[in-house]
Chains A and B, each alone.
Chain A
Amino acid sequence: MPLVELRDIHKVYHLGGEEIRALDGVSLDINEGDFCSIIGPSGSGKSTLMHILGCLDSPTSGTLKLDGMEIQNATPRQLATIRNQKIGFVFQFFNLLPKLNVLQNVELPMVYSGLGGRERRERAMEALRHVELENRSKHRPSQLSGGQQQRVAIARALVNNPRIIFADEPTGNLDSHTGELILDMFRGFHREGRTIILVTHDPEIAALTSHKIEIRDGKIAANLDRTLAGLDRPIPAAV
């Protein structure tokens, strides 16, 4: 059974009498352990799709099953728990809280899962070690470079040990070298067995993932799953 099952999802925005079909009948499955890339031109609906997958937004119509749970029937409280426990989200614009230091930012999901202070700190430091930022734990986000901020965001996404990590153009705001480092990190997480869904507009990056979804005008234009096609092969290390 796939980890994510999306069926006939529509998302319609109304903007001054005009109807914008950001998603227009999207159906797809994502399996556990997938490294899935979503690619498509700007405005094609990638972020909208990610937000719906990440339970941050709800579709106009269609169903989403995540880890066996029917999301469209979930209460706001259950959605909050899913976002907290099952999903880690990495945004293009980092979205760290500027008034909190790095450690406190990473602790934030655990604050909402009700963990005690000591355990929070230990796990947050562990996650920071994972992204090699443990020596910056007392810094404010504004004192870090973009790449470092994104690594903090990644640590925050990882810290509650989620089933899936969503990353919406995580390298979009970084220079290519830093972006490469971040991507390497995601590859590492994939090797550790995590499910990763990554939005990118870079075909080269997409080409390296096991499952590649191309989206155009809110519709799925191509859906290439190498594992199903028998094309599965080890993902090459960083170029």
Chain B
Amino acid sequence: MNLVNVILTGLREVWAHKFRSLLTMLGIILGVSSLVAMSALVKGMEVGMKSALAEMGGLEKIRVESQLELPLHQRHLQDRVRGVTMKDVTALRAGAPLVHTVTPSVDVGGWGSRTVVEYRGKRARPYLFSGTWPEALEINEHEIAHGRMFNHYDDELARNVCVIGTGIRDELFGEPDTPEDGVVPIGESITINGQPFVVIGMFRHYESEEYRKRRQARLAAIARGEQPPSMGRDHFVYRLKNRTIYIPLSAMLLNFRTGSGVNAAADAQLSTLYMKIPDIALLEPALQQVRNVLMVNHAGLEDFSFRTDEDWANEISTTIRNYRMSGSIIAAICLIVGGIGIANIMLASISERVREIGIRKSVGATTLDVFVQILVESVVLTMLGGLAGLAVSFGLVVIVGNFSPEESVPMVTMGALLIAFGASALVGLIAGIVPAIKASKLHPIQALKYD
């Protein structure tokens, strides 16, 4: 008996019991669609998280931060703490060839900062307000869309100029329909914590690929006169970058640090030193090198700490692995339950079909023929379930997408589809074995006498 015939027989059998087959397949449909949906969800998260990581400068970026609390074994030296200073910048530029673009930064901001930006009575709060060097542009993956970045002259002259993100622009000058068409406030004068600054540049608008699509869909819906879908918020990283203000480092020190240092001189303590390594592979030696230089410079005092995004990246991997694991377990349970259902129904149908099997054997079907027929029937059943599951999964992905975190829109991958479909076939194969053995062992005459 050739395979085409066997498959046709299997399909006919499934079709003969449409409703029962459908019920039987439900477990498989559920398993396959949840497998696809889960993997799409996790894939979306992974892509979202990774692009956010890249948006922040990626793994090549090292940050050294002032650590004002000394480790326990140095607590008695607490009064000597200075944190990171401009001296470290000079020392690193001279003594740490494994890193480049060492950039100092004094940051005011983060959550709970009281920095207020004003323009004609309108107020905005930046997420990040930094005094830094022009290199910050490169190191933090910023791009200027309008105007210019301040340069070293601006810094040397401590000019009150600033570069802002589109988020700040939206709040001070009004939010346009599309971020690209908004007001370009170059030359406008704003105040930052009461000090006047001239806007000389604006970053491009940052958003994730997914958010951009969502925004376009919304615009299209508005153009069609439909109820526009809710937008949600983009990943934090993009919002952070859009609500950033950069001013020259010296302007920061002069305007906002004077008076806090000894003798009214600018307190030269920096918040962060940014630097880059040319290659991820050099991360360990580069960190060691930076550490050595700083240790010498700080006379052994550990009043600084390292931050790399390696932890972040590891966290992403762990999170993704965990999600993938739990998703797979859920889908596997569905498939196993589905498989048990199939095995159960197949066993029951064998008892119903003793006579059919007897007739087939009496006209020359071998044990193997019957075995293959039942096995194929089971596989046909689960593969149909698998196909239905794939179809259902697309709907499920849309539904799940509405509940998933904003920055991660589910992505269905070919690999996931193939694996899910393969799993359905495998379940059919395994579930069909016992019924197929039972059927093939039937003795023709016992089968024929069966009433």
Residues of A within 8 A of B (CB): 51, 54, 56-57, 76-77, 80-81, 83-85, 89, 91, 95-97, 99, 108-109, 111-114, 156, 160
Whether the pair B16, A80 counts as a contact (CB closer than 8 A) is no
Whether the pair A114, B1 counts as a contact (CB closer than 8 A) is yes
Whether the pair B364, A84 counts as a contact (CB closer than 8 A) is yes
Interface size on B, residues (CB 8 A): 24
Given contacts A83-B444, A97-B360, 14 further A-B contacts (CB under 8 A): A56-B362, A57-B443, A57-B444, A76-B366, A80-B367, A83-B363, A84-B363, A85-B364, A89-B362, A89-B363, A95-B359, A95-B448, A99-B12, A108-B363
B355 CB-CB contact with A under 8 Å = yes
Chain B residue numbers with a CB within 8 Å of A160 are 364
Chain B residue numbers with a CB within 8 Å of A85 are 364
Whether the pair B364, A112 counts as a contact (CB closer than 8 A) is yes
Q: Which residue of B lies closest to A157 (CB)?
A: B363
Whether the pair B1, A112 counts as a contact (CB closer than 8 A) is yes
- List 10 A-B residue pairs with CB atoms under 8 Å apart, sorted by A's residue number: A77-B368, A80-B369, A83-B361, A83-B362, A84-B364, A89-B362, A89-B363, A95-B358, A99-B13, A112-B365
Chain B residue numbers with a CB within 8 Å of A83 are 361-364, 444
B2 CB-CB contact with A under 8 Å = yes
Residues 1-58 of B at the A interface (beta carbon under 8 Å): 1-2, 5, 12-13, 16
Residues of B within 8 A of A (CB): 1-2, 5, 12-13, 16, 355-356, 358-369, 443-445, 448
Of B13, B359, B364, B367, the contact of A81 (CB 8 Å cutoff):
B364
Chain A residue numbers with a CB within 8 Å of B356 are 97
Whether the pair A95, B362 counts as a contact (CB closer than 8 A) is yes
Chain A residue numbers with a CB within 8 Å of B445 are 51, 56-57
CA distance A80 to B366 in the complex (A): 5
Whether the pair A112, B363 counts as a contact (CB closer than 8 A) is yes
Whether the pair B363, A109 counts as a contact (CB closer than 8 A) is yes
Name the distance in Å between B350's Cβ and chain A's nearest Cβ: 15
Chain B residue numbers with a CB within 8 Å of A81 are 364, 366
Q: Which residue of A lies closest to B451 (CB)?
A: A93
Name the distance in Å between B373's Cβ and chain A's nearest Cβ: 10
Chain B residue numbers with a CB within 8 Å of A113 are 364
Chain B residue numbers with a CB within 8 Å of A112 are 1, 360, 363-366, 369
Whether the pair B366, A156 counts as a contact (CB closer than 8 A) is no
Of A84, A89, A99, the contact of B16 (CB 8 Å cutoff):
A99
Whether the pair A97, B359 counts as a contact (CB closer than 8 A) is yes
CA distance A95 to B214 in the complex (A): 64
CA distance A56 to B444 in the complex (A): 6
Chain B residue numbers with a CB within 8 Å of A77 are 366-368
CA distance A137 to B16 in the complex (A): 20
Interface of B is mostly: helix
Q: Which residue of A lies closest to B446 (CB)?
A: A57
Across the A-B interface, how many residue pairs have beta carbons closer than 8 Å? 65
Chain B residue numbers with a CB within 8 Å of A89 are 362-363
Name the distance in Å between B356's Cβ and chain A's nearest Cβ: 6
The verdict on A111 contacting B5 (CB below 8 Å), with A91-B448, A99-B12, A99-B16 known, is: yes
Q: Which residue of B lies closest to A83 (CB)?
A: B364
CA distance A77 to B366 in the complex (A): 6
Name the distance in Å between B432's Cβ and chain A's nearest Cβ: 19
Name the distance in Å between A159's Cβ and chain B's nearest Cβ: 9
Chain A residue numbers with a CB within 8 Å of B16 are 99
Whether the pair B359, A80 counts as a contact (CB closer than 8 A) is no
Whether the pair B365, A80 counts as a contact (CB closer than 8 A) is yes
CA distance A142 to B350 in the complex (A): 22
The verdict on A109 contacting B364 (CB below 8 Å), with A97-B356, A97-B359, A99-B16 known, is: yes
Chain A residue numbers with a CB within 8 Å of B448 are 56, 91, 95
Chain B residue numbers with a CB within 8 Å of A96 are 359
Chain A residue numbers with a CB within 8 Å of B12 are 99
Chain A residue numbers with a CB within 8 Å of B358 are 95
CA distance A91 to B444 in the complex (A): 13
Q: Which residue of B lies closest to A95 (CB)?
A: B359
Q: Which residue of B lies closest to A156 (CB)?
A: B363
CA distance A77 to B355 in the complex (A): 20
CA distance A111 to B367 in the complex (A): 15
Chain B residue numbers with a CB within 8 Å of A54 are 362
**Max chain A C-beta neighbours (<10 A), residue from B360, B363, B366, B369:** B363
Chain B residue numbers with a CB within 8 Å of A57 are 443-445
CA distance A77 to B363 in the complex (A): 13
Whether the pair A80, B361 counts as a contact (CB closer than 8 A) is yes
Chain B residue numbers with a CB within 8 Å of A56 are 361-362, 444-445, 448
Chain A residue numbers with a CB within 8 Å of B2 are 114
Whether the pair A108, B366 counts as a contact (CB closer than 8 A) is no
CA distance A91 to B362 in the complex (A): 11
Chain A residue numbers with a CB within 8 Å of B359 are 95-97, 108
Q: Which residue of B lies closest to A48 (CB)?
A: B445
Of B5, B355, B364, B443, the contact of A80 (CB 8 Å cutoff):
B364
Q: Which residue of A lies closest to B447 (CB)?
A: A56
Of A76, A99, A108, A109, the contact of B367 (CB 8 Å cutoff):
A76
Of A51, A76, A108, A114, the contact of B360 (CB 8 Å cutoff):
A108
Name the distance in Å between A94's Cβ and chain B's nearest Cβ: 10
Name the distance in Å between B14's Cβ and chain A's nearest Cβ: 11
Whether the pair A111, B366 counts as a contact (CB closer than 8 A) is no
Q: Which residue of B lies closest to A52 (CB)?
A: B445
Q: Which residue of A lies closest to B359 (CB)?
A: A95
CA distance A57 to B361 in the complex (A): 11
CA distance A77 to B369 in the complex (A): 10
Name the distance in Å between A160's Cβ and chain B's nearest Cβ: 8
Chain A residue numbers with a CB within 8 Å of B5 are 111
CA distance A89 to B448 in the complex (A): 12
**Max chain A C-beta neighbours (<10 A), residue from B12, B360, B364, B448:** B364
CA distance A108 to B360 in the complex (A): 8
CA distance A108 to B361 in the complex (A): 10
Q: Which residue of B lies closest to A76 (CB)?
A: B367
CA distance A97 to B443 in the complex (A): 17
**Max chain A C-beta neighbours (<10 A), residue from B16, B362, B444, B448:** B362
Q: Which residue of B lies closest to A94 (CB)?
A: B359
CA distance A156 to B359 in the complex (A): 11
Name the distance in Å between A181's Cβ and chain B's nearest Cβ: 23
